[in-house]
Amino acid sequence: MSAMVESAPPTAPAPPTKSGPSKNVNYEKPWVEKYRPNKLSSIVGNSETVGRLSAIAVDGNMPNLILSGPPGTGKTTSVHALARELLGEEGYKNGTLELNASDARGIDVVRNKIKMFAMAKVSLPANRHKVIILDECDSMTTAAQQALRRTMEIYSSTTRFALACNVSSKVIEPIQSRCAILRYSRLSDEQVLIRLKEICTFEKVSFTPDGLEAIIFTAEGDMRNALNNLQATVSGFGFVNQANVFKVCDQPHPTVVRDILELCKLGDTRKAVETLEKLTNSGYSSSDVIGTIFKVTKNSALPESLKLAFLREIGFAHMRIAEGSDSFLQLAGLVGRMARIGKEAGGEEGENDMKTD
């Protein structure tokens, strides 16, 4: 069933450029960039963290910051939006220096480029500091991070640092102690859904609810991944439904995995392994399959005790696959064990007296 959106929701973000219906969409610009929020208030999710950044933007006295969290959750977007709100559009152009993993950031760069920028005179709004954005700072060498320590202190009257990274523990402790650490978490399915619907409205994309659900399923709380998959589906097929999304994302189809689980629940090992075989014969690796089995089981409506017993086995199998024994035998063994658990539980919903050995 197709649900064509007719009017923009009131909370819709303002896209930088207006676009026409999907057949006239400007495919040149990736939607992740086209719909990158410019303002902190347009950033979806992590409301507590973004709220703290908004408070800093109002106060004007920015501390050195580390933003840490999983990919595609809005860290880079947040630091740029913060710098823009602190310094204004003009100040943002002249008063920020961004260095990310694609730039040379060895010790020489920290010594020269960052110091030069920190020393340079720039006209900014009153009581504002220049901002140095060090994106993906967990990939900076330890020596370069060490060189940053004193630089951060010496120029603190004119310059503040905003660091973004995926793993804050890869930033050396002296830098962590100089910064306020703000954490980002994965976005919830609802938050991604709202954003996807807004963008579908702007781009006049027709979609089915299960199509968006499939995008959310594959994105796992990563907004960048969700937008990229949405755009890929639209440019490939012009219509977002479950089948098209899985053709683009190329992950094991969750309905097939759901069938396997259902067969395990009924204790039908043979059919379950046959279905699994079809999946692996289509070329998916063991880690793809086990990842999908985990996600589907976690979100399934299986009785709680059965779900926990399945997850326990999935965890062990995942560990073995991650360690390198990723043969079909490993997955077949898992399915066999799950089917035995299902059989012992009697295939009955809500059964509590099953054995999981």
Ligand X SMILES: Nc1ncnc2c1ncn2[C@@H]1O[C@H](COP(=O)(O)OP(=O)(O)OP(=O)(O)O)[C@@H](O)[C@H]1O
Q: Which residues bind Mg ion (CB under 5 A)?
A: 76
186 binds ligand X (CB under 6 A): no
Q: Looking at beta carbons, which residue is closest to Mg ion?
A: 76
**Which of 25, 40, 45, 261 is close enough to bind ligand X by CB under 6 A?**
45
**Which of 57, 65, 74, 290 is close enough to bind ligand X by CB under 6 A?**
74
Q: Looking at beta carbons, which residue is closest to ligand X?
A: 74
Q: 328-344 vs 286-299: helix axis angle to the nearest 10? A: 20
- Residue 227 binding: pick among ligand X, Mg ion, none (C-beta 5-8 Å cut-off by kind): ligand X
- Residue 32 binding: pick among ligand X, Mg ion, none (C-beta 5-8 Å cut-off by kind): ligand X
**Which of 5, 32, 181, 332 is close enough to bind ligand X by CB under 6 A?**
32
**Which of 49, 57, 62, 75 is close enough to bind ligand X by CB under 6 A?**
75
Exposed, middle or buried: residue 212 (CB in 10 Å: 0-12, 13-18, 19+)?
buried
Candidates 31-39, 52-60, 117-125, 248-256; binding stretch for ligand X (CB under 6 A) = 31-39
CA 10, 83, 128 angle in degrees (round to 5)?
125
Token duo for residue 176: 């962590």
**Which of 49, 54, 64, 77 is close enough to bind ligand X by CB under 6 A?**
77
**Which of 36, 105, 197, 337 is close enough to bind ligand X by CB under 6 A?**
36
Token duo for residue 76: 């880079």
Candidates 3-11, 29-37, 142-150, 151-159; binding stretch for ligand X (CB under 6 A) = 29-37
Q: Which is nearer to ligand X, 167 or 180 (CB)?
A: 167
- Residue 264 binding: pick among ligand X, Mg ion, none (C-beta 5-8 Å cut-off by kind): none
Dihedrals phi, psi of 182, to nearest 5 degrees: -115, 130
Helix segments in 19-161, DSSP class H: 31-34, 47-59, 75-95, 107-109, 115-119, 142-154
Q: Whole-angstrom Cα distance, residue 74 to residue 98?
A: 16
163, 48 Cβ separation under 8 angstroms: no
Q: Which is nearer to Mg ion, 162 or 321 (CB)?
A: 162
Letter string b/e over residues 141-171, b meaning 16 or more CB atoms within 10 A of that residue's CB? eeebbebbeebbeebeebbbbbbbbbebeeb
The amino acid occupying position 215 is: I
Min. distance of Cβ 206 from ligand X in angstroms? 21
Token duo for residue 301: 């409506």
Please give the full DSSP string across 256-290, using - where no structure is assigned: HHHHHHHHHHHT-HHHHHHHHHHHHHTT--HHHHH
Candidates 73-81, 142-150, 282-290, 312-320; binding stretch for ligand X (CB under 6 A) = 73-81
Q: Tell me how many residues contact ligand X (CB under 6 A).
A: 21
Letter string b/e over residues 49-61, b meaning 16 or more CB atoms within 10 A of that residue's CB? bbeebbebbeeee
Which of positions 207-226 make contact with ligand X (CB under 6 A)? 223-224
Q: Which is nearer to ligand X, 185 or 255 (CB)?
A: 185
Token duo for residue 127: 């009581």
- Residue 74 binding: pick among Mg ion, ligand X, none (C-beta 5-8 Å cut-off by kind): ligand X
Q: Whole-angstrom Cα distance, residue 330 to residue 263?
A: 18
Candidates 33-41, 259-267, 309-317, 332-340; binding stretch for ligand X (CB under 6 A) = 33-41
Min. distance of Cβ 224 from Mg ion in angstroms? 9
Positions in the binding site for ligand X (CB under 6 A) = 32-33, 35-37, 43-45, 71-77, 164, 166, 195, 223-224, 227
